[in-house]
Amino acid sequence: MKIQPIAHKTLSETVAGKLAASLLDGSLLPGMQLPAERDLMAQLGVSRATLREALKALEESGLITSRPNVGWFANAIDERNVAKARELMHAADGKPTVPAANEPPTGPLRIPVAPEKPLHIPNLHTDRLGTFEFISWWEREKVQNARVLVVGAGALGNDVIKNLALMGVGHIYIVDFDTIEAANLSRSVLFRESDNNRSKAEVAAARAKALNPQIHVQYLNGDVTTQLGLGVFRRMDVVIGCLDNREARLAVNRFCYWMNKPWVDGAIQELLGLARVFVPGQGACYECTLTEQALRDLSLRYSCPLLARQNILLGKVPTTPTIASIIGGIQSQEALKLINGMPVEPGKVIHYNGMVNEMHTTAYVAREDCESHWTYGQVTELPARAEHTTLEDMLRIARADLGPEAIIELDQELITSLKCSTCHTIEQVLKPLSAVSFEAGHCPTCGNLRETELTHVITGEENYLHRTLSSVGVPPLHILRAHNGQEYRFYELTGDLPEALHFHHFEQTGAPAPARGRVRIQSDEHVKDLPKSPAQGRVKLHE
Ligand SMILES: [Zn+2]
Ligand SMILES: [Zn+2]
């Protein structure tokens, strides 16, 4: 019987490949010491001779260095050794399994190496993203084409935006309604003392662009729950929530579910934090995680909608820049994983407790009766604009498709009147809930808080059908819902696209003014047929 030497050689190659993979994916960082030889032997289940052969191969490839009487150390991966590292890894079909000596073993890592990723040797003197080429899962094209919506530009948002800009995420859309005050400066890396009273979204966007001029940035100084059209969500790859209240999270959760987009939530308080990924149809969503009590609290808005809104605006949570970095870092990383098509764990939460440095992951249970679980069907793109299209126009379009019973459901409650039960007076209002302050809700005569009469459906019976969609609170590029009791249809105000969604806020230099005039449209017209510049005229529909 003959002993086959091939098996032995393959084993040492496998070991070298595993170690090379750990270097490539960053679990063995430059300068880190490898575990002691006897620990490596035990972990890998190989003999000393096999291990030494593998280490020698890595040393010859310039991937590790021996320090006499100390041990083995990882070298930096650069243009001189990356090809060799990949070769070793692929020869062994390597999966990284060996953590560094100064870290506890955590079991096999599941970071997949993009097999189709071409080996590209970057010029580190001229290419700002060059070092990322050495990261096995980072794919330049995916990252540069990515569109990420960041909701909230506070402590968490600052950190997330900074990370996305540095990592080269090509299109970042920032939303926040707040302005900068002195207390924000202690935990917001993008803000300066001279920014006092300026819009958080605008300043964060400008600083992201300054951090990385190669990316495109847009912002909205407004409220995500009412002022951002669903068409913006529809065109994003990932949404990141950097919010401090349940109402906004619930709104973002529903919008993402409707548009079938993944979103990454983060929450921080003092030294505690959590991060979680929600993907529609995969495990629990944010609303599934809310307790009965929380859902009851949220429905308070219906008994006193104006007060509920005011309370949201006042809610402040104490945070530090350190916890914001930790949780913001995890959120950014999860977003990058989603962009690169790597596996994530939707419906689970990562808890971090900075008091005792404990971190663990827990799965939520998806609720079958969850009201968020609804994804829009096919969206019809209309060349209409929120500012110029009336409720009557919209009803006509919907009824052409769905018949005369079709009604429109608005996403925001519309206040039709304010009633004083003391003075027996009724004031006609017709404004979206968000446009009426708590103070304005009080009776000008007796000062009592008045009753609000709300609606969110347009049936055709209203005496205000001539009003434009924007005057009743429909944001630009929104997607409206209509139904006839059996079937829903979805209509996007795609005519708003050139103004509502473009990533050139910090790049425009004397762009020509948009053309004025009247557009004649048909409801089956598609957005691609639209002229380049947005039309300003009132939309006229063919009968
Ligand atoms: Zn749910
Ligand atoms: Zn009164």
Q: How far is the CA of 454 from the centre of ligand 2 (A)?
A: 19
Are the beta carbons of 407 and 457 closer than 8 angstroms?
A: yes
Residue 121 domain-assigned (yes or no): no
- Cα 359 versus chain centre, distance: 23
For residues 531 and 390, state if they share a domain.
yes
How far apart (Å, rounded) are the C-alpha atoms in residues 486 and 484? Answer: 5
Which of 334, 363, 392 delimits the end of a domain?
363
Q: How far is the CA of 464 from the centre of ligand 2 (A)?
A: 26
pLDDT number for residue 45: 86
Retrieve residue 24's tokens.
Answer: 């490539």
Average pLDDT over residues 36-64: 90
Which of 363, 394, 411 delimits the end of a domain?
363
Residue 105 domain-assigned (yes or no): no
Q: Kindly indicate the confidence band of residue 23, based on its pLDDT and cuts at 50, 70 and 90.
A: confident
How many other C-beta atoms lie within 10 A of the C-beta of residue 437? 11
* Ligand sitting nearest the alpha carbon of 372: 1
Are the beta carbons of 76 and 23 closer than 8 angstroms?
A: no
Reported as a single tens digit per residue, the pLDDT across 226-252 is 999 999 999 999 999 999 888 899 999
Q: Does residue 425 register a pLDDT over 60?
A: yes
Residue 123 domain-assigned (yes or no): no
Q: What CATH number corresponds to the domain at position 41?
A: 1.10.10.10
Q: How far is the CA of 420 from the centre of ligand 1 (A)?
A: 38
For residues 353 and 384, state if they share a domain.
no
Helix or strand or coil: residue 220?
strand
Residue 201 domain-assigned (yes or no): yes
Q: Which of 49, 54, 88, 84 is nearest to 72 (CA)?
A: 54
For residues 359 and 386, state if they share a domain.
no
Average pLDDT over residues 113-127: 73
Q: How many degrees, rounded to 5, is the angle at CA 397 between CA 391 and CA 403?
A: 110
pLDDT number for residue 542: 36
* Ligand sitting nearest the alpha carbon of 442: 2
Q: Kindly indicate the confidence band of residue 147, based on its pLDDT and cuts at 50, 70 and 90.
A: very high
For residues 356 and 428, state if they share a domain.
no
Q: How far is the CA of 289 from the centre of ligand 1 (A)?
A: 7
pLDDT number for residue 442: 92
Q: How far is the CA of 310 from the centre of ligand 2 (A)?
A: 21
Q: How far is the CA of 456 from the centre of ligand 1 (A)?
A: 23
Q: Does residue 521 register a pLDDT over 70?
A: no
Q: How far is the CA of 442 from the centre of ligand 2 (A)?
A: 8
Q: Kindly indicate the confidence band of residue 82, based on its pLDDT and cuts at 50, 70 and 90.
A: confident
- Cα 283 versus chain centre, distance: 18
Q: What is the mean pLDDT of the chain?
A: 84
For residues 484 and 523, state if they share a domain.
yes
Q: How far is the CA of 306 from the centre of ligand 2 (A)?
A: 17
Q: How far is the CA of 425 from the centre of ligand 2 (A)?
A: 7
How many other C-beta atoms lie within 10 A of the C-beta of residue 233? 25
Q: Kindly indicate the confidence band of residue 3, based on its pLDDT and cuts at 50, 70 and 90.
A: low
Q: How far is the CA of 254 from the centre of ligand 1 (A)?
A: 9
For residues 338 and 387, state if they share a domain.
no
How far apart (Å, rounded) are the C-alpha atoms in residues 468 and 507? Answer: 32
CA dihedral sign of residues 49, 51, 57, 62: negative
Q: What CATH number corresponds to the domain at position 296?
A: 3.40.50.720
* Ligand sitting nearest the alpha carbon of 346: 1
Average pLDDT over residues 427-436: 90
CA dihedral sign of residues 74, 78, 81, 87: positive
How many other C-beta atoms lie within 10 A of the C-beta of residue 17? 25
Residue span of the structural domain in which 34 resides:
5-91
pLDDT number for residue 308: 57
Which of 311, 332, 363 delimits the end of a domain?
363
Q: Does residue 511 register a pLDDT over 60?
A: no
For residues 339 and 430, state if they share a domain.
no
Q: How far is the CA of 426 from the centre of ligand 2 (A)?
A: 9
Q: How far is the CA of 376 from the centre of ligand 1 (A)?
A: 15
Residue 119 domain-assigned (yes or no): no
Average pLDDT over residues 470-493: 96
Q: How far is the CA of 222 from the centre of ligand 2 (A)?
A: 32
| CB contact set of 513 (below 8 Å; sequence gap of 6+) | none
pLDDT number for residue 506: 77
Q: How many degrees, rounded to 5, is the angle at CA 181 between CA 180 and CA 182?
A: 130
How far apart (Å, rounded) are the C-alpha atoms in residues 182 and 379? Answer: 44
For residues 206 and 280, state if they share a domain.
yes
Residue 331 domain-assigned (yes or no): yes
For residues 300 and 161, state if they share a domain.
yes
Q: How far is the CA of 417 from the centre of ligand 2 (A)?
A: 14
* Ligand sitting nearest the alpha carbon of 287: 1
H/E run at residue 239: strand 238-241
pLDDT number for residue 100: 41
CA dihedral sign of residues 341, 333, 336, 33: negative
pLDDT number for residue 243: 94
Q: How far is the CA of 317 from the centre of ligand 1 (A)?
A: 25
Are the beta carbons of 256 and 232 closer than 8 angstroms?
A: no
* Residue 107 or 286, more confident: 286
For residues 302 and 168, state if they share a domain.
yes
H/E run at residue 348: strand 348-353
Q: How far is the CA of 447 from the centre of ligand 2 (A)?
A: 6
Q: Does residue 407 register a pLDDT over 60?
A: yes
* Ligand sitting nearest the alpha carbon of 423: 2
Reported as a single tens digit per residue, the pLDDT across 369-402 is 999 999 999 999 999 999 999 999 999 999 999 9
Lowest mean pLDDT among 67-76, 105-114, 245-254, 396-405: 105-114
Residue 213 domain-assigned (yes or no): yes
pLDDT number for residue 523: 36
Reported as a single tens digit per residue, the pLDDT across 284-322 is 999 999 988 888 777 655 455 566 555 555 556 678 899
* Ligand sitting nearest the alpha carbon of 289: 1
* Ligand sitting nearest the alpha carbon of 374: 1
Number of compact structural domains in the chain: 3
For residues 354 and 399, state if they share a domain.
no
For residues 172 and 274, state if they share a domain.
yes
Residue 299 domain-assigned (yes or no): yes
